[in-house]
Amino acid sequence: MTRNGDLVRRTAAVLCATAALTGLAAAPPERPGPVVYVANLHSDTVSVVDPRTGGVVDDVPVGDGPDSVAVSPDGARLYVTDSAADTVSVIDTRTRTVVETIGVGREPSRVTVSPDNERIYVANVAGDTVSVISAATATVTDTIAVGDAPLGLAVTPDGRTLYVANAGSDSVSVIRTDDGTVTGAVPVGAGPTALALAPDCRHLYVSNLTSDDVSVVDLREGTETARVPVGDQPAGIGVRPDGRRVYVADIGSDTVSVISTRSHTVTDTIAVGDGPNGLAIASDGSHVHVSNFDADTLTVIDTETSTPTATIPVGNGPTGVATQTAPPTPSGPAGV
């Protein structure tokens, strides 16, 4: 795997399994329900988890070093950054197979999709760039220079603005998506790795891996207005759909910090598995899903009680996590 030493490898993997090979994958449910996708950095697979049963229903082989996953708005595609192959694998969520492999920049880490389903944005941590992919043609249409070691990505609901966390520059780049112009950079904490937009788009939350805190950026003012101390090495981050709480995976503390968006203070700390890094919140806000990089597991947290309800074995070195309400019904053999 092409990583810039153990620290950068860890940062890119955590910052923001062989069922398919043995033919033992369970058949998908007749009525498709919500699923959770987990990128397994060391298994070169994506685990497909059924949160209703608490089990892995498929493992999809992808490129070398899968780091991050993002579901298209229509639910038809899953995009996976292959960090050691400098590619993005495109998975058909109905057949659970890779249908395209797209070359991007050096060491792609994070990925997100525009709300109109037309563009895919990829942060290339070793290239200091963001690749823009056309969903229609599956080709790179633009490459945007940003700060040092870009990781986390967030795009506004109107699709007009893209935010990029630059772990090496301690800043967040602001990009106008219509022409790919970088319009500014907001200074934040040390080692920003993941981003989460508030539902009302008033604030952007930034997990700072090195300074052990979360920056709160007022998007109207374009400045950091608060800094919230959390656990050691905060990485994955997400906001509940109601906008009341922010959840942060603390790699070094083996915890998830819960932040009140009203007081900007930590109101709860939840113990999870070893090395929590990726984090995704269910669309209804009922559960948080956290990948534990050193435990090879996925922890499911009930947001009402702030307690873990399940620990699910996945692939080796789980990193990025994405949730999907109800994908298209798979057809044909699963995992081939």
Q: What is the DSSP letter of 189?
A: S
Please check whether residue 294 is in contact with residue 274, taking contact to mean a CB–CB distance below 8 angstroms: yes
pLDDT, tens only, 129-141: 999 999 999 999 9
Main-chain dihedrals φ then ψ at residue 213, nearest 5 degrees = -155, 175
CA 282 from chain centre, in angstroms, equals 13
Residue 33's pLDDT is 74
| pTM over cut 0.75 | yes
Name the least confident of 9-18, 112-121, 132-141: 9-18
Predicted confidence band of residue 329 (pLDDT cuts 50, 70, 90): low
Please check whether residue 318 is in contact with residue 67, taking contact to mean a CB–CB distance below 8 angstroms: no
Predicted confidence band of residue 325 (pLDDT cuts 50, 70, 90): confident
Which residue has 């699923």 as its token pair?
35
For the cut 50, the answer to whether the pLDDT of residue 19 exceeds it is no
Burial 279-304 (b: 16+ CB within 10 A, else e): bbbbeebbbbbbbbbebbbbbbbebe
Which residue type is seen at 312? I
Which residue type is seen at 41? L
pLDDT, tens only, 256-275: 999 999 999 999 999 999 99
Enumerate domains of the chain plus CATH numbers. 5-324 (2.130.10.10)
What residues are paired with 225 via a beta bridge? none
CA 244 from chain centre, in angstroms, equals 20
Complete DSSP assignment for 112-136:
EE-TTSSEEEEEETTTTEEEEEETT
Greater confidence, 314 or 12? Answer: 314
Predicted confidence band of residue 15 (pLDDT cuts 50, 70, 90): very low
For the cut 80, the answer to whether the pLDDT of residue 100 exceeds it is yes
Helices (H), the chain: 5-14, 19-22
Count of residues for the chain?
Answer: 336
Please check whether residue 101 is in contact with residue 334, taking contact to mean a CB–CB distance below 8 angstroms: no
